[in-house]
Chain A
Amino acid sequence: MDTLASLLHMSPAVAWMVVKIVIVFSAVMILASVWTWVERRGSAMIQDRIGPNRAAIFGRIRIIGLQQLLADGIKFFFKEDLAPTDANKALFWLAPFLAFVPALMGFAVIPFGRSFTSGGHVYHLSVLDPGNGMGMLYPLAIGGLAVYGVLVAAWSSNNKWAILGGMRSSAAMVSYEIGMSLSVVALFMTTGGYDPSEIIAAQGHLPWHWNVVPHFLGFIVFFTCMFAETNRLPFDFAEGESEIVAGFNTEYGSMKFSLLALAEYAHLMTASALIATLYFGGWQVPFVANPTVALSITSFVLKLVFFAWVFVWIRWTLPRFRYDQLMHLGWKVMLPLSMVNLVFHAWRMSQGH
């Protein structure tokens, strides 16, 4: 790393930062685009179909249809870029970026492997080093901004279905954020810190000490709220294609639509990373007290991919909620559950556990 930095006339810290940003964002981007394919293949598997498996390079080499991504990308690039006549053009263009940027930014604080020392420097495997003072508040804040992508896309298209989708999504987002935050607050309390690296370190390497066991209620709430946050089925009220055409992205086509879809999957990756970090020990490897760096990264990626798959799995298993059921679940089930979780842990800590 030092030689590389000196070759590029940068300080090692800056070089490491650049390397981390490139690795994290390209990994999330690649995973997100692969997941558009996994979603279709997964849904096909669950519904006893085959799914996209025909795309091939030169009509010959098909790796179980993975080139579908390339084909889709190329097709999206060459499609005509339409904007509705009465749309607010500036916002219509801005919306995909507003959706995409927060979805990627949320990942910045999550440690994807254990820190290591090399040549007198400590290297942390997260874009923002631990001890930045933002800690877990950062993904919550960025998650709050993510709704603007949907809202702006919905409003600027000047389409009543789109506006309906945007409104439903913003209401759902705000209601579920409270339950989610409360379940995370309970984690802060038992950990005694709010930095993701502290939360991971406090969980240790034994699976029954991971937060999912003592905070089982909190985990249920957080997990459910993540579905609402990422606008995934059974809570995808922004889209709701059986009710409001295609919701907020009705008027979107070509690369702009592709960006909105990618934003959804990038958000999904961030959400799975958060679940893995907060409740499943992050990069901790089960039963290995001091894993090597590569092993810890592998463990984290495996957890992330598993939860990303669970998101797909649930989408094709559960039907969509009705809107009043969503509000009922959010306010009358999730919020009290997370309250109970919080008060229970406060009581337990007051008893000296």
Chain B
Amino acid sequence: MFLAFALITLLGALGMLLQKNIIVAGLFMVAAFFGIAGLFVLLANPVAAALQLIVYSGAIMVLVLFVIMMLSSHEEEAAEVGHPIQRWLSVLLALALAAGGVTLVLASKGVRQLAERGAAMPPAVTLQGVGAALFEGHVLGFEVAGLMLLAAMVGAVALTKRNL
């Protein structure tokens, strides 16, 4: 199961990178999101899986594809001036990010516990658990995020609507 979902995720991500057609690339990205949702289910976190599908595949990607369809060109445009250094820089940065992520995960408490106690399936995360954690441990972060989203929304309306 893990292999299937991991393959879906990886192939989706690769397809998104290599595909010249923006719409097809977007659909590959949806496939990658679906694979990630499957991985969340395997990690006993069905809530995150559902939210992944609802928010990313169900709303954000639909809107992105909507905007792309609204624009006439569906093919990636070639750059007018090539900047090969950009490509190498981005590969380097991506590699650095990957290396940093892997070292962080390997050094984390969870992995050490896993090595000591072996892999036992944790109880599945429930929506009630997520809500309680948000409002007990992270009220400030939650409220700040809400405020920022509100500000972003007001800003978007103010930018697009000329005469309010």
Contacts and interface: CB of A to CB of B under 8 A. Distances in A.
Contact of B46 (A134, A173, A181): A134
Interface string A134-162: 11011011111101100110010000000
Interface in B54-101: 54, 57-59, 62-63, 65-66, 69-70
B62 A138 contact: no
Nearest to B55: A144
A120 interface: no
Interface in B1-48: 21, 23-24, 27, 30, 34, 37, 41, 44, 46-47
Contact of B127 (A88, A174, A177, A188): A188
Contacts of A141: 37, 49-50, 53-54, 57-58
Majority-rule SS of A interface residues: helix
A314 interface: no
A181 B37 CA distance: 19
Contacts of B51: 137
Contacts of A145: 34, 53, 57-58
Interface stretch (A44-52, A110-118, A164-172, A263-271): A164-172
Interface string B108-150: 0000000000000000111110000000000000000000000
A201 interface: no
A203 B27 CA distance: 40
B8 to A, nearest CB: 14
A140 B54 contact: yes
Contacts of B46: 132-134, 137-138
B12 to A, nearest CB: 13
Nearest to A131: B124
B124 A133 contact: yes
B69 A174 contact: no
A132 B123 CA distance: 11
Contacts of A147: 58, 62
Nearest to B52: A141
Contacts of B124: 132-133
Contact of A138 (B50, B70, B128): B50
A125 interface: no
A227 interface: no
A177 B59 CA distance: 9
Nearest to B124: A133
Given A144-B54, A145-B57, A163-B69, A137 B24 contact: no
B65 A144 contact: no
> Which residue, of A137, A138, A141, A163, has the highest number of chain B Cβ atoms within 10 A?
A141
Contact of B53 (A144, A151, A163, A181): A144
Contacts of B57: 141, 144-145, 148
Interface in B140-163: none
Nearest to B123: A133
Interface of B: 21, 23-24, 27, 30, 34, 37, 41, 44, 46-47, 49-51, 53-54, 57-59, 62-63, 65-66, 69-70, 124-128
Interface of A: 88, 91, 132-135, 137-138, 140-145, 147-148, 151-152, 155, 163, 166-167, 170-171, 173-174, 177, 181, 188, 193-194
Closest 9 CB pairs of A and B: A144-B58, A137-B50, A141-B53, A133-B46, A133-B124, A134-B46, A141-B50, A170-B66, A170-B62
Given A170-B63, A170-B65, 5 more contacts: A137-B50, A140-B54, A141-B50, A145-B57, A173-B62
